[in-house]
Chains A and B, each alone.
Chain A
């Protein structure tokens, strides 16, 4: 016997496995046969071996011939009950169609918003992740310090890549690239294009990044001089349906490149959306139209290249960072030509952070970096909307409980256990939530296009089809079921069968749930109030940004680029002679721009106390043209400009400065400042003071500004048309003049007000999205309120009947109805006001020019909220107050 016990102990696990899948009625004999087999095996092969044979034999029993003999799965009483419950659920839902509708639609909308937000965030977070080696790719950034001012730049010196290649260990590939902005490309003499998004790259660029070529040998051709790879859509634009390979394109009127290949269009989620890749050409004239920063007179402080590195598989980024610092130390900081006030270093930045890098002038060429806090903001909105939808669900379910009270009573009295009831109601929730989920998937797929249009992205629903996101969806489903369904289920299942059966519907109304329900309504409307106030304030802010007086004129003004600055003056005169043109001024940039040059100044050459200033180069007409207000002094004239070649040490720059600069250098009042000097690389003399005007988008304060003559830099003509003149004619005549002077260039005009409007594209998009989501959130709350009020009206129908019989007026009944809700919502609103005030105030501190949050905001919000709520409650209240009492009382 003990021998067998021993076996049984050993083989316990194998046999337990058998027990798990083997039908009960066959188990004993199979087990017996297996043990018998084991005994004979043990004799023949030894016990150890026999043990494994037993396990193998057990596994062999896992076959359809055995498995299908199980009497199936669910025990009869449970599965019968489940089917019955499903029946009851569907019956209930059909009986209360509007209620079910509110349940499902509210939730579906909530889930849709969450899905859309999840897709958006997924898209944002997935930027650049498609490269095979994405986690090992870094961009090298420059960090320069001058005086107390930090310059965080994405451009690096040309020599850096070579230096990394020969000095740094742990780096697998290095690639430098130069981003060229709008460049004229001649496909044939009749076809000129102004092409943006050109990258001049080393062949190793293709080893670092995944760029799929459709035609040609990309790597080989980029290794040869003057070869070009075009994206599919560029090929279409340039050559139509013709084969592009071997065709020659001319850049900047003189650089000939041969098209050697075609690559796929850049993906929607890339931070390097190059349409054209050109093999590297070391000609300064060729490379000149891109971002360049200079800190001195030698190569290592002329920053113009993007430098990307692919580090080795097990390389340590911190170690490479240290080596980079050494390079900066050796080549820049120890260079005696460098001003002692300037200190430089290089910093590694992981590829996936570029998309969120708002600090470095928008993140990089063609990157419009997204602030990560916006993503958090949207996560918050999504969570709020989902919570509101769940609260609705919870609220309506507990309210409905009164109707289910009798059912629960009967079920309990015929022996239902509480856990069974909870299970039943959870199943019910699960059914509703699943339907809502399906519905929301449908709505999402239809609304995705609208959202893409709004935010200018191309997000596809396909990204939802991964295992990760599907499991996320299922988790959300379960979470919602638990969030929204668990409490009602527990609550309903708690009913005492005796009271719920004895009392009638009216009395069975669980007062206990009333408090909870009321506080949930309060929470909903607290959030809704916050959102209403936020929408009002943000819309005011957006409006303010578009309409604020910037300190200069912006109406009827266009700007055109002048490719040849030497011809600027004569062209300006030609423009001025055109019939519709009122005025023309020459400058390097518009008064407001994201493209200003920033320099540093100090009160004298020895001072360490340096400030960053904006330098605008403009002719003498610029001031009157833009209506800039001269507070004192005069404007410098062309004759006062001294070209570098004639510059003598005792010469001074004649400049106009703004009030901010006076304040910064403590030069006193505008009229006192005239004739005073400060240090701007050379000595500068103030000849005039101009009133402050906005030089940058309104997120930024007005910076200290210098305006000075510099005819060599006048690459922009500012043209003002007569008010009310025919714009089409005016533009046509301007184009004609321009084309006559620059036949090989591409004409492009910019409307100043449009440009200013475009500064706030991001704000407009985010505001647009926020408005939609806020309206949805408020809508969900209202939907819930509507359902709740409708339900109350239903429950209290007899009460109202009796009141009416006893002579209650319609007014008193409407008041009776609305009082509770209005009070609750009013309190919620009052709590929301200060919180909204404080958080919005905090939010707006990031913006230099902001609206004040005044009482009118709150009054407006209160009016909107009350209008909606009174409308919702009022309709229901009046409807039930109007009902004829006989009908409600007669019907038992």
Chain B
């Protein structure tokens, strides 16, 4: 009884946050960045690689734990899915969790890009005189 109650409570908690976000159909800036990176890195999309990639390409300091938490959240929301990769000699033999974008995630990315483009059109364009 005890554990089920606990679990229920946590599920409820996660479910509530999930529900809230779903309703808004909205991703935070960092979430969007991570989702984009997962899509871009394809078979090599895992926590450390994503953070390295962001650091080298965007010159932006990111924290590993922030990347991981965001990845888990995106997975909860159903935009990405994960599977454990094979062991390698690097990383002390630890396996990587490889993420791939789901079709819902792809749709989300696309929708966001389109809405950006729509909004961009509203901005008065500078003309060369």
Partners in one complex: yes
Binary contact track A50-79/B, C-beta < 8 Å → 1, others 0 = 000000010011010110110111101001
Are B94 and A29 touching (Cβ within 8 A)?
yes
Given contacts A36-B90, A79-B3, contact A29 B46 (CB under 8 A): yes
B97 at the interface (CB under 8 A from A): yes
| Given A60-B64, A61-B68, CB of A73 within 8 Å of CB of B6 | yes
Most chain B beta-carbon contacts within 10 A, residue among A34, A39, A68, A69? A34
CA distance A26 to B72 in the complex (A): 10
Contact status B92-A32, CB under 8 Å: yes
Question: Does A80 lie at the interface of the complex (its beta carbon under 8 Å from any beta carbon of B)?
Answer: yes
Question: Complex: how many Å from CA A74 to CA B65?
Answer: 26
* A890 proximal to B (CB < 8 A): no
In the assembled complex, the CB of B48 is this many whole angstroms from the nearest CB of chain A, namely 4
A36-B91, A57-B64, A60-B63 known; A29+B2 contact, CB < 8 A: no
Q: Is the CB of A35 within 8 A of B94?
A: yes
Mark contacts of A81-100 with chain B using CB atoms, 8 A cut-off: 1 yes-contact digit, 0 otherwise: 01100000000000000000
Q: Is the interface of B mostly helix, strand, loop or mixed?
A: helix
Asked if A241 is at the interface (CB within 8 A of a chain B CB), the reply is: no
Q: B7 contacts A71, CB within 8 Å? A: yes
- Chain A residue with Cβ nearest B69: A65
Q: How far is the CB of A655 from chain B (nearest CB, A)?
A: 89
Query: Whole-angstrom distance from the CB of B103 to the nearest CB of chain A?
Result: 24
Contact check: which of A4, A30, A69, A83 meets B2 at CB < 8 Å?
A83
Asked if A31 is at the interface (CB within 8 A of a chain B CB), the reply is yes
Q: Which of A229-268 contact B (CB under 8 A)?
A: none
- Docked Cα-Cα span, A82 to B6, in Å, equals 14
Query: Can you name the residue of chain B whose Cβ is closest to the Cβ of A1?
Result: B89
Interface band, chain A: 20 to 34
Most buried by B among A32, A35, A37, A73: A32
Inter-chain contact A29/B97, CB cutoff 8 Å: yes
Whether A28 contacts B65 by the Cβ 8 Å rule is no
Contacts of A34 in B (CB 8 A): 48, 64
Inter-chain contacts of B6 with A (CB < 8 A): 72-74
When chains A and B are docked, how far (Å) is the Cα of A8 from the Cα of B72?
Answer: 26
Residue from the list B52, B69, B84 in contact with A40, Cβ < 8 A: B52
Q: Is the CB of A72 within 8 A of B10?
A: yes
**With A57-B64, A66-B65, A79-B2 as given contacts, are A32 and B95 in contact (CB-CB < 8 Å)?**
yes
CB-based contact B65/A63 at 8 Å: yes
Question: With an 8 A cutoff between CB atoms, is A7 at the interface?
Answer: yes
Most buried by B among A1, A26, A30, A31: A30
Kindly list chain A residues whose C-beta atoms are within 8 Å of the C-beta of B73: 65
In the assembled complex, the Cα of A92 lies from the Cα of B78 at a distance in Å of 49
How far is A65 from B47 in the complex, measured between Cα atoms in Å? 15
Cross-chain contact B48 with A36 (CB below 8 angstroms): yes
- A65 and B72 CA atoms in complex are apart in Å by 8
Question: Given A68-B10, A71-B7, are A32 and B1 neighbors across the interface (CB < 8 Å)?
Answer: no
- Bitwise, B35-68 to A at CB < 8 A (1) or not (0) is 0000000000011100110000000000111101
Q: How far is the CB of A356 from chain B (nearest CB, A)?
A: 53
A33 contact set on B, CB distance < 8 A: 46-48, 64, 68, 91, 96
User: Which residue among A28, A31, A63 has the maximum number of chain B CB atoms within 10 Å of its CB?
Assistant: A28
Of B3, B52, B72, B90, most A-chain CB atoms within 10 Å: B3
In the complex, B13 has a CB within 8 A of chain A: yes
Q: Across the interface, do B92 and A35 meet the contact criterion of CB distance under 8 Å?
A: yes
Taken residue by residue from 1 to 44, chain B's Cβ proximity to chain A (1 for < 8 Å, 0 otherwise) reads as 11100110010011000000000000000000000000000000
Determine whether the beta carbon of A30 is less than 8 Å from that of B3.
no
Q: Are A30 and B72 in contact (CB under 8 A)?
A: no
Contact present for A29 and B69 (CB under 8 Å): no
Contact yes or no, B96 A74, CB < 8 A: no
Give bound CA distance, A34 to B48, whole Å. Answer: 7
Q: Which residue of A lies closest to B66 (CB)?
A: A60
B95: chain A residues within 8 A (beta carbon) = 28-29, 32
Chain A residue contacts of B91, Cβ below 8 A: 32-33, 35-36, 39
Residue from the list B63, B69, B92 in contact with A8, Cβ < 8 A: B92
Query: What's the least CB distance linking B90 to chain A, in Å?
Result: 7
Chain A 1-31 against B: per-residue CB contact (8 Å), 1 yes, 0 no? 1001001100000000000000000101111
B67-117 interface with A by 8 A CB criterion: 68-69, 72-73, 84, 89-97
Which of B14, B90, B93, B96 touches A29 (beta carbons < 8 Å)? B96
Q: Which residues of B contact A28 (CB under 8 A)?
A: 84, 94-95
Q: Which of chain A's residues have a CB closer than 8 A to the CB of B14?
A: 68
Which residues does chain A contribute within 8 Å of B69, judged by CB atoms? 63, 65-66
Contact partners of B64 in chain A: CB under 8 A: 33-34, 37, 57, 60-61
Cα distance A66–B96 when bound, in Å?
A: 17
Residues in chain B near residue A29, CB distance under 8 A: 46-47, 84, 94-97
Q: How far is the CB of B74 from chain A (nearest CB, A)?
A: 12
Question: Are B63 and A4 in contact (CB-based, < 8 A)?
Answer: no
The residue in chain B whose Cβ has the minimal distance to the Cβ of A70 is B10
Contacts of B47 in A (CB 8 A): 29-30, 33
Instruction: Choose from A1, A8, A80 the contact partner of B1 (Cβ within 8 Å).
Output: A80
Determine the distance from Cα of A407 to Cα of B92 in the docked complex, in whole angstroms. Answer: 52
Q: Which residues of B sit under 8 angstroms from A63, Cβ to Cβ?
A: 65, 69
**Considering the chains assembled together, what is the distance between the CA atoms of A370 and B90 in angstroms?**
77
Q: Is the CB of B72 within 8 A of A74?
A: no
Set of chain A residues within 8 Å of B92, measured between Cβ atoms: 4, 7-8, 31-32, 35
What is the minimal beta-carbon distance from A152 to any residue of chain B, in angstroms?
66
Contact status of A72 and B48, CB under 8 A, knowing A29-B96, A57-B65: no
In whole angstroms, what is the CA distance A7 to B50 when docked? Answer: 23
| Whole-angstrom CA separation of A517 from B12 in the bound complex | 52
Contacts of B10 in A (CB 8 A): 68, 72
User: In the complex where A8-B92, A30-B47, A72-B6 touch, is A66 in contact with B13 (Cβ < 8 A)?
Assistant: no
Contact residues in B for A7 (Cβ distance below 8 Å): 92
Q: Assuming the A-B contacts A4-B92, A68-B10, are A30 and B68 also in contact, with contact meaning beta carbons closer than 8 angstroms in the complex? A: yes
Residue of B1, B48, B89 with highest tally of chain A CB at under 10 A: B48
B93 cross-chain contacts in A, Cβ below 8 A: 4
CB–CB B68/A31 < 8 A: no
Residues of chain B within 8 A (CB-CB) of A80 are 1-3
With A29-B47, A33-B46, A72-B3 as given contacts, are A60 and B94 in contact (CB-CB < 8 Å)? no
* Known contacts A28-B94, A35-B92, A76 near B3 by CB under 8 Å: yes
Interfacial chain B residues near A66, Cβ < 8 Å: 65, 68-69
Contact (Cβ within 8 A) A83 B1: yes
* A39 surroundings in chain B (CB, below 8 A): 90-91
Contact pick for A60, options B3, B65, B72, CB 8 Å: B65
Of all chain B residues, the one with the shortest Cβ separation from A82 is B2
Cα separation A71 to B3 with both chains bound (whole Å): 9
- For A26, list chain B residues within 8 Å (CB): 68, 72
Q: Give Cα A68 to B72, complex, Å.
A: 12
Chain A residues contacting B90 (CB-CB under 8 Å) are 36, 39
- B residues less than 8 Å from A61 (CB atoms): 64-65, 68
- The complex places the Cα of A26 from the Cα of B82 at a distance, in Å, of 12
A783 to chain B, nearest CB (A): 35
27 A-B interface contacts by CB (under 8 A): A4-B92, A28-B94, A28-B95, A29-B47, A32-B48, A32-B94, A32-B95, A33-B47, A36-B48, A36-B90, A37-B48, A37-B51, A37-B64, A57-B63, A60-B63, A61-B65, A63-B69, A65-B65, A65-B68, A65-B69, A66-B68, A66-B69, A68-B14, A71-B7, A72-B7, A76-B3, A82-B2
Sample of 14 further A-B pairs with CB below 8 A, known A29-B96, A74-B6: A28-B84, A30-B68, A32-B91, A32-B95, A33-B46, A33-B48, A35-B94, A61-B65, A63-B69, A73-B6, A74-B2, A79-B3, A82-B2, A83-B2
* 9 closest cross-chain pairs (CB), A and B: A32-B94, A65-B69, A79-B2, A33-B48, A29-B97, A32-B91, A60-B65, A33-B47, A61-B65
